Each structure stands twice: as C-alpha cells, then as structure tokens.
A and B are shown apart, each in its own frame.
Chain A
Amino acid sequence: MTTAPILDIQDVHKDYNTYQALKGVSLKVRRGEFIALVGPSGCGKTTLLKQIAGFEDATSGTISIDGRDMAGVPAAQRPTSMVFQKLALFPHMTVAENIGFPLKLRKVPAAQIAQRVNEMIALMELKPIYLDRFPRALSGGEQQRVALARSMISSPKLLLLDEPLSALDVKLKKVLQSELKRLHRSVGVTFVHVTHDLEEAMMLADRICVMRAGRILQLGDPTDIYYRPADAFVAGFIGETNLLPIDVVSRNAAGITYRSEGIADPTGTIPAPLVADSVSPGQALMNVRPELIRRIGTHENADCAVNATVTEIFSKGGTVQYRARMPEGHDLAIEIQGTSALPMQVGENVRLGWAKKDIWVLAPGEA
C-alpha cells in the first residue's frame, strides 16, 4: 500500500459570479480513510464535493485523485461515485437496473452484471425479491441501500456521500450509520462524507474536516476536534461547551500566564500542550467541556475553581445538565451522570472545579 494520498486537493477556489463558495481549500485524504466534511449550510462542503465528483470545474487550484490531476476530466471518467442527498435513483428502472447501470455503461456482459448486482445486494443486505421492483415501491432505508449499492458496484476509488442520511428519521439514521461504518470497514474504499450533523461525523469518521465560509477551519480526528477545537466557532459547533474569557499576560515555550476574574487558579499558568497555536497575549478563551466540570467542596483543592449559583436543571435521561451563573454574569453548563439524588438544587451556591489537563485555550475569533 502506497502512502501517497488518494485525494489531494490543493488551494481550490470556486466562485459563482461574485460569490466565493470556496476560498482556497487544501486537503489530503489518505487511502481507505473515512473523512467527514462538516459545517453549517453554505460553508462550501457540498461545493467541494461537486468539484471532487467533477460536476463543476474549480475556478483555480488542483484536485488529484490517486496521483492523477483531474482538471478537464469529466465526472463520467473520474474514479469517484456519489451518493446523492435525494438518492437520485432512476424511477424508470427497476432496482436491478439501477444497481447495474454503471456496469451497463461500461459495456460489461449482462451475465456478469447480474452476478455483480447479486453480490451488491448481498453486501447491502437487500432482499433479492426487490430486484424487479421499482425504487418507489421500497422504503426510505431500502432505497438508501440501493443507492449505496449502485455507487459501490463500479468499485470506485472514492465514495462521495452528500448528506444521504439527512432525510431519514432518527432511528433509521442510526441503523444506516452503523451500516455505513460496516460497509467502509468491509470494502476498504475511501469515503468522503458531507454532513451538517456533527454527531454523525464524530461517530463515523476517522478524521473530521470542519468548514466555514469556504475555508477549512480545522482538520483532525474526532477527539482533536472535540477537545482541542481550533477556535471558538469549532468549539461551539461541536456539541455544547464552556468558553470562559481570560487575559493572557505572556506566552513562552512553557505555556502561558493568565489572569481571570472569576477563576481561582493558584498557579495562573497553563502548559503549552493545552494552548492553541493561535493564542497570543491579550484576549483568549478557556474551553472546558460540560462533562469535565464537577462540584467540589468549599475547601477542596482544584486546579481551577469558580463560584456559581445554579439556575437551571435539565434531565437528559442518562445524564443531568445544570446551568450555573458565575458572579461575573457568565453562564456555565455542567453535565454529570444522572443519579436519583440530585447533588445540586436550583438557587444553591456551589463551588465548581476542573482539572488543568481538561483545559484547552483558544483564540477568541468570530463565534
């Protein structure tokens, strides 16, 4: 197995008249990887996918697939296959004709097509009796499997998924998510999955690429993105978090020295591995995830401690979420494992603390 990236995107720009949909995107995707492109609508993730599939030509920049520059190569000749948001199953063809369509275009003999179609429906766990039915006679989840089978039958090097699960209900979505993961493991094809659902991306992908306004904000594995977000936007986009404003006094190789009105920290320093590169003296944000904050006793020592008043309690089944207001007016979200006896009451003044290793300091940026 070569180490060269299967997909190499270099500084791709895409303009629609005056609107810049992509403003210089570079991305290398490893062979066999499951990568998720995540971002709010209009961030350029689907536009990027269209450039990879070859439906549109990039304004500038290069896209190479398996070492070959794709400039001027039409979608039909690219080793990519797309699963569309609306699935795009051909309504005038039966399930078997739909799945076999890519092979029919490649002039594969009919007997061989039939054999491959049977392999695909076995892989997708579809019932053979569906083969002669029209797509509209199938349920949403079954249509999804047919669309996947059609995309996989020509053994593409890259499978592009354009939010194919977004229209499904939550339960079916979960089933198909694990299905996708299983499929990815069993076929070893590189998956590029576009979604606005971060939970889905975290669950499925090896690496997540967070985009916003035509740029990549951060690329990393799910833990990186979750616990070490590049900026306030990524931090806020990916699940709930607490961003506490701090003043960075100085920065050196060992880390930073900071001041904060509400946070009681005996050392006032944060070691370098817990600080984003973009942080410089001045304003910064301390990121602490709700589940890493706990209640501490009045005299108990903690790396960081704050005083706050509990304002709200939400039970989320397995966990309980609290909201507490610090004297400076900043709201904190705290999430703890649900127990029958609630450890905090609304209106109670509590002391909350967290460990320094759970901190991540990032530059303020635009939220």
Chain B
Amino acid sequence: MEQTATRSWHDPGLLVKALPSVLLQTTCFIAPLLMTFILTFQRTRDFQLRWTWDLATWTDVFSKPHYWTILGHTLVMAAACVAICMVLAFPIAYGLATRFKRFENEIKILITFAFITDATLKTFGWVLFLDKKGAANFLLSGLGLPPESVAFLFTDWATLLGMVYNLLPFAIFTLYLSIDTIDRSLILAAYDAGASKWRAHWEVTLPLCKPGIWAGSVLIFLLGVGVFLEPKVLGGGVSPMSAELIRQTFETRVNWPLGAALTLVLMVVSVFVVLLFSRILNMKRAGFGT
C-alpha cells in the first residue's frame, strides 16, 4: 500500500492522467464549497458584501436556537420520509422484481413518467386535491363522509406527503435493483432448508437487500433534507425547513454570510447523521465481508 502510494507520486504521467478528474472536482465541487466557507467569515451591510474576516456570523448561528429548531425539524421530516418511503417501496419493488415481472417494463415506464414530471406541477396538483373544496373532499363527501374531512393541507403532514410522493421513485428503483439481483435459488435454498415464506424473507431477502435499502435511504435522506418546495406549497410555509430558511436568508434578507453558514451546518450535520447510521448498521458486514 505504502509503497504504491509513494511510487505513484514519482510517476510524472500520473498528474497528467488525473488532470481532467482533478480539474472537474475542483471547479465543480471543491471551489464552490471553499467559496461558501470563505463567505461565512464576511458580513453584509446595506445589501453589500464586506470583506471583514470575523466570526460574527458563526456567533450568530450558534447563539440563536431558532436555526437549530428548524434544522432539527428538517432532520426529523427527512428521517420520517426515509422510513415511509422504504416501507412503501419495498413491497412495490419486490412485486416488480418477482410477481409482476411480466409487466416490469410497463410499470417502470409509468413510474419513470411520474418521476420526470415536474415536481412543482405535481406539488401544486396535490394542493388542488387536498384543498378544502378540492377533489379529495368532494369524493369523500360524495361517499357520505362529513364535509372537509381531509383538512391536513398546510400542515407538516401535507409536507411529508409531498416529500414521500416526490422521492418514492428513488426508493423503488434502488430497492428494485437490489432485489432483482438476488439469485432465485437462494430463496429456494432457504425454503429447502425449512424456512417459511416470512422466515426466508427475514433471513435471506432482507439481509441481501441491505445495501439497496441503505443506498436508497441515504439518497432520500439527503434529498429530503434539501426540500423547499413541499414545505412552502403543501406546508403553507407554517413550519419552514432548512432549505427554505437558507433561501430566505440569501434572497429575502440578502445575508449571504449567514446563508452560507447555515448551508454548511446543514451539510455537515447531514453527513454526520449518515456516517453515524452507517457505523450503527455496520455496513461492512452488509457488504459481505469485502
């Protein structure tokens, strides 16, 4: 290990070979992050950025619990979204990979279409559906239920519904891929060894899906932490989430250093949560000892 590392530095061709990757990483990833980080040490006054190099922004961030309440709320919402998506997506993905294999392509195309339809459009669609005088209440009152029985628009529940609706395809596809790669004879081997259907699920299918469940969860969690459309449109902006707070800080308050600091906090906390869970779930074992 050590030797190849030192030797690779002596290889003059290496830098040339790595140059495209280094350039791409720097311009697209490292430089923006670095600029964001630098921004947090400046101040804005009269809607102008001043190069001050002090810790005023960070003092502000760590002294106001308001920001942290919103962050906590965001994390809880994203985690709830992950849980709901996984529970809903597993049977769908399982059915796609096994029972409905014949209609696999048709169903996949339908899901993809729903997926690539603009999120804004779908989110406003839900507003129309869930509104006091919307389609849902119309249908339910037609069934004899009291008027306005669907009344959770502009609450966290509506936000969560929108998040789950928009992020579910990620869960379905990642789970589908991992279920589809499971060798059918492994399930038969479990039955043959004496396992009931549930036991085979629990002992074989689920553990073998662990990488897929994990990948889907990370994806949805990180996307869920960043949603701004759903809390604004479906949640009615009543309880904002981090992304909306950041947008407001940048656009409405024109406080770029604070916006940058809140962005970094959100990023660091999200990554920390992901790392923490990967440690808890011991993903090394799920990778089957590689």
Listed in ascending order, the chain A residues whose CB lies under 8 Å from chain B are 53-55, 74-77, 80-82, 84-86, 88-92, 101-102, 105-106, 133-134, 136-137, 150, 154
A332 CB, min distance to chain B CBs, angstroms: 45
**Chain A residues with Cβ under 8 A from B190's Cβ?**
90, 101
CB distance from A135 to the nearest CB of B (A): 9
CB-defined contacts of B191 to chain A, threshold 8 Å: 54-55, 74-76
| Minimum CB distance partner of B185 in chain A | A88
- Chain B, 155-199, CB within 8 A of any chain A CB: 183, 185-186, 188-196, 199
Asked if B288 is an interface residue, CB under 8 A from chain A, the answer is yes
Q: Which residues of B contact A85 (CB under 8 A)?
A: 185
* B193 engages A86 (CB within 8 Å): no
Judge whether A92 and B185 touch: CB under 8 Å. Answer: no
**A133–B286 alpha-carbon span in the complex (Å):** 14
Bound: A91/B182 CA distance, A:
10
Number of interface residues, chain B, beta carbon within 8 A: 22
Task: Give every chain A residue within 8 A of B195 (Cβ-Cβ).
Answer: 76, 105
- Assembled-state Cα–Cα distance A136/B185 (Å): 16
Indicate whether B71 reaches chain A with its CB closer than 8 angstroms.
no
A55 touches B194 (CB 8 A): no
The CA of A85 and the CA of B193, in the complex, are separated in Å by 16
Across the interface, do A53 and B289 meet the contact criterion of CB distance under 8 Å? no
Known pairs A53-B192, A92-B207, A101-B190 / 9 extra A-B pairs, C-beta < 8 Å: A55-B191, A75-B191, A76-B193, A76-B195, A80-B192, A85-B185, A90-B186, A105-B195, A154-B193
Chain B residues with a Cβ under 8 A of chain A: 183, 185-186, 188-196, 199, 203-204, 207-208, 210, 285-286, 288-289
> In the bound complex, how far is the Cα of B196 from the Cα of A53, in angstroms?
15
Main SS of the interface on chain B?
Answer: helix
Are the CB atoms of B185 and A91 closer together than 8 Å? no
Specify the chain A residue showing the minimal Cβ separation from B289: A134
Q: Is the CB of B186 within 8 A of A88?
A: yes
Q: A75 is contacted by which of B186, B192, B204, B285 (Cβ under 8 Å)?
A: B192
Cα distance A92–B194 in the bound complex, in angstroms: 18
Contact check, A82 vs B192: say whether CB atoms are below 8 A apart.
yes
**Which residue from chain B places its CB closest to the CB of A136 in the assembled complex?**
B288
User: Quick check: B288 and A86 within 8 Å, CB to CB?
Assistant: no
- From B183, B196, B203, B285, contact of A88 by CB (8 A): B183
- CB of A90 within 8 A of CB of B204, answer yes
CB distance from A113 to the nearest CB of B (A): 13
- Contact status of A77 and B189, CB under 8 A, knowing A91-B208, A92-B288: no
By the criterion CB–CB under 8 Å, are A105 and B208 in contact? no
| Most chain A CB inside 10 Å of its own CB: which residue of B190, B194, B289 | B194
Pick from B188, B199, B210: contact of A55, CB below 8 A. Answer: B188
Pairwise interchain contact B208-A82, C-beta atoms closer than 8 A: no
Show 15 residue pairs from A and B whose CB-CB distance is below 8 angstroms, ordered by the A residue: A53-B188, A54-B191, A55-B188, A76-B194, A82-B188, A82-B192, A85-B185, A88-B186, A90-B190, A90-B204, A92-B285, A105-B193, A105-B194, A136-B289, A154-B194
**Interface pair B194/A106, CB less than 8 Å apart:** yes
Residue of B nearest to A106 (CB): B194
Are A101 and B207 CB-contacts (below 8 A) given A85-B185, A86-B185, A134-B289? no
Q: Which of B194, B199, B203, B285 contacts A77 (CB 8 A)?
A: B194
Residues of A within 8 A of B288 (CB): 91-92, 134, 136
Instruction: Kindly list chain A residues whose C-beta atoms are within 8 Å of the C-beta of B189.
Output: 82, 84, 88-90
